[in-house]
């Protein structure tokens, strides 16, 4: 198959590529097959550049967030005289900043390329992370934590768009899983790194040194991301001319969305009337309100383990999370049209852990530690969540709204979650565990409801196609377009 590359604008990552209709037979272009060997070569080149840089950004983000949990067991609470719910609010207020960033990103992601948006904000959050070494009282810490959340929140919706632009639908779960793996890696080995830095004895307390070094690493990675990530496929420096066209075609044929610089109000109104929009928000809220990571070190420390043993005991949790992640990705590959049901089953793992944490007696230290490890296992659920959004939502404004709503739910859940952990219930926080168990049950119901709605719409479109409606026929697309998944009757939802 021969490819003639059309001129690609460089003003945004997902720039719409105008196809010269006089030179392209639309029917042939829409159904032509790409040589699998050539496609694998192109995909490998994309993976070698896009994924390592994205993984590094996620690693830094999680390392920065985990800095607070390790600082808490290395003197932060004492140095800043944190009382009562001060620590819980230091955890929550980060996500007020994340929440604000989601509202900003709706507009900014229409205006600038992802490489510029993410690169600049990573550099800025590195600077704010370094500033976290400066607080002398609780109010100082709260202010810096808010700014850190404001900067870090930019990466979330941007990466949903980026993955959907560079990768085919079947490739989304494994790529989001790699990003989740970066978080797990940061939790485990990054935790040991933070432990080593926080243990430094000197005129500056170790936890402050950890903040300075982690922030400096983020600045370097942000600069590398902005320099190396292409703004669009036309400027992909690692692809040949023919490979750029193949990279474009392999995704465009799956009814992919084009970049749109202007906010589409018709897509906005269509989205806010869609019940799936609110289910996506609820997924993120429920999963993130269930997180125990910022309190995991306090739970283990409260069970009588030393700071070092508490750090080491993060590693089995990471191993369990990685096992769940790998199992989920393999299940999605084996059953590609059952992602929602796979997630519902996957949610049973942390559900069981939260039930055990509220029922086992305090004397059973090792079973309680094991239960905590199970309760931390929700990265595999989050990664498939994101793949469902990137795969099933079409139209640039609509996809931006969905991904932003997801992270508004994420931020809201992360604000609410820490408030469930009452200081007077440490170290097992029974009230929080009861709430977490209930929320996982609701999540499972909402996930199944989303899949039922998608299945019903697919069946309706199949009936239209069987009745002779040409627009409803499932077929490869000729190019990127800006129709929404509701407008494009040839589109089918991945379950």
Q: Is residue 317 part of a domain?
A: yes
Question: How many Cα atoms within 13 Å fall on the side-chain side of residue 266?
Answer: 6
Residue 3 maps to a domain: no
- CATH number, domain containing residue 71: 1.20.1250.20
Query: Could you tell me if residue 294 is inside a domain?
Result: yes
Q: Within a domain: residue 260?
A: no
Instruction: Say if 112 falls within a structural domain.
Output: yes
3-state secondary structure of 474: coil
User: How many Å apart are CA 47 and CA 45, to the nearest integer?
Assistant: 5
Q: Within a domain: residue 27?
A: no
What does the block give as tokens for 365? Answer: 């230290």
3-state SS, residue 257: strand
pTM of the model as a whole: 0.71
Q: For position 257, what pLDDT does the model report?
A: 53
Whole-Å CA distances, 292 to 232, 353, 381, 406? 38, 11, 15, 19
Instruction: Say how far apart CA 305 and CA 313 lie, in whole Å.
Output: 9
Measured at the CA of 307, the angle between CA 427 and CA 80, to 5 degrees, comes to 75
Q: Would 6 be classed as within a structural domain?
A: no
Is 34 among the domain residues?
A: no
Nearest to 275 by CA among 179, 402, 125, 182: 402
Domain assignment of residue 53, given as a range = 45-229+270-469
Burial class (CB in 10 A: 0-12, 13-18, 19+), 445: exposed
Can you list the alpha helix ranges (DSSP code H) found in 112-264? 114-131, 138-152, 155-166, 172-198, 206-228, 241-252
Six-digit token string for 494: 């991945």
Q: What is the pLDDT along the chain (495 residues), one digit of tens a residue?
A: 444 433 333 333 333 333 333 333 333 344 457 888 899 999 999 999 999 999 998 888 877 777 777 777 777 888 888 888 888 888 888 888 888 887 777 777 777 778 888 888 889 989 999 998 888 898 999 999 999 988 887 777 788 888 888 998 888 888 888 888 887 887 777 777 777 777 777 778 888 888 898 899 999 999 999 899 998 888 889 999 999 988 888 887 775 555 555 678 888 999 999 999 999 999 989 998 888 876 777 788 888 887 778 778 878 888 898 899 899 989 988 888 888 889 899 999 999 999 999 899 888 889 999 999 999 888 888 888 888 888 888 887 888 888 888 888 888 888 888 888 888 888 888 888 999 999 999 999 999 999 999 999 999 999 999 998 988 888 766 556 678 888 888 888 988
Name the domain count of the chain.
1
Collect all residues with Cβ–Cβ distance below 8 Å to 425 and sequence separation of at least 6.
Answer: 431, 432
Closest CA to 311 of 210, 207, 191, 428: 191
Is there a contact between 291 and 414 (Cβ–Cβ < 8 Å)? yes
Task: Specify whether the CB–CB gap between 200 and 79 falls below 8 A.
Answer: no
Q: What is the pLDDT of residue 348?
A: 94
């Amino acid at each position: 198959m021969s490819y003639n590359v059309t001129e690609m604008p460089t003003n945004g990552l997902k720039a719409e590529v105008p196809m010269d209709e006089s030179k392209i037979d639309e029917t042939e272009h829409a159904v032509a097959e790409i040589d699998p060997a050539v496609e694998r070569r192109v995909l490998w080149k994309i993976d070698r550049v896009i994924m390592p840089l994205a993984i590094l950004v996620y690693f830094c983000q999680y390392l920065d967030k985990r800095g607070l949990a390790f600082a808490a067991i290395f003197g932060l609470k004492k140095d800043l005289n944190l009382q009562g719910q001060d620590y819980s609010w230091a955890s929550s207020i980060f996500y007020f900043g994340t929440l604000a960033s989601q509202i900003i990103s709706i507009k900014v992601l229409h205006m600038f390329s992802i490489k510029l948006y993410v690169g600049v904000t990573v550099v800025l959050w590195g600077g704010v992370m370094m500033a976290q070494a400066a607080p002398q009282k609780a109010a100082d810490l709260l202010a810096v934590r808010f700014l850190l959340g404001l900067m870090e929140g930019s990466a979330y919706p941007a990466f949903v768009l980026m993955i959907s632009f560079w990768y085919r639908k079947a490739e989304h779960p494994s790529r989001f899983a790699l990003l989740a793996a970066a978080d797990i890696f940061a939790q485990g080995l990054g935790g040991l790194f933070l432990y080593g830095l926080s243990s430094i004895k000197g005129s500056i307390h170790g936890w402050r040194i950890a903040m300075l070094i982690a922030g400096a690493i983020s600045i370097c990675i942000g600069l590398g991301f902005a320099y190396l990530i292409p703004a669009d496929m036309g400027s992909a420096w690692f692809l040949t001319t023919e490979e750029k066209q193949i990279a474009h075609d392999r995704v465009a044929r799956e009814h992919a969305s084009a970049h749109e610089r202007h906010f589409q109000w018709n897509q906005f109104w269509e989205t806010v009337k869609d019940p799936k929009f609110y289910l996506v928000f609820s997924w993120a809220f429920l999963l993130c309100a269930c997180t125990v990571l910022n309190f995991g070190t306090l739970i283990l420390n409260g069970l009588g383990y030393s700071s070092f043993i508490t750090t080491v005991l993060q590693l089995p949790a990471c191993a369990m999370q990685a096992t769940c992640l790998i199992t989920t990705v393999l299940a999605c590959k084996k059953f590609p049209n059952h992602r929602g049901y796979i997630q519902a089953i996957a949610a049973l793992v942390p559900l069981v852990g939260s039930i055990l944490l509220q029922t086992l007696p305090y004397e059973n230290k090792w079973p309680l530690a094991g239960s905590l490890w199970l309760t931390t296992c929700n990265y595999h659920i989050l990664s498939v969540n994101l793949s469902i959004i990137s795969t099933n939502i079409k139209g640039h404004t609509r996809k931006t709204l969905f991904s932003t709503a997801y992270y508004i739910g994420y931020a809201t859940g992360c604000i609410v979650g820490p408030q469930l952990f009452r200081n007077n219930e440490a170290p097992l926080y029974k009230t929080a565990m009861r709430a977490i168990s209930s929320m996982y049950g609701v999540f499972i119901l909402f996930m199944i409801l989303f899949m039922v709605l998608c299945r019903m719409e697919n069946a309706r479109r199949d009936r239209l196609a069987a009745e002779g409606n040409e627009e409803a026929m499932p077929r490869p697309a000729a190019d990127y377009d800006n129709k929404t998944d509701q407008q494009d009757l040839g589109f089918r939802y991945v379950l």
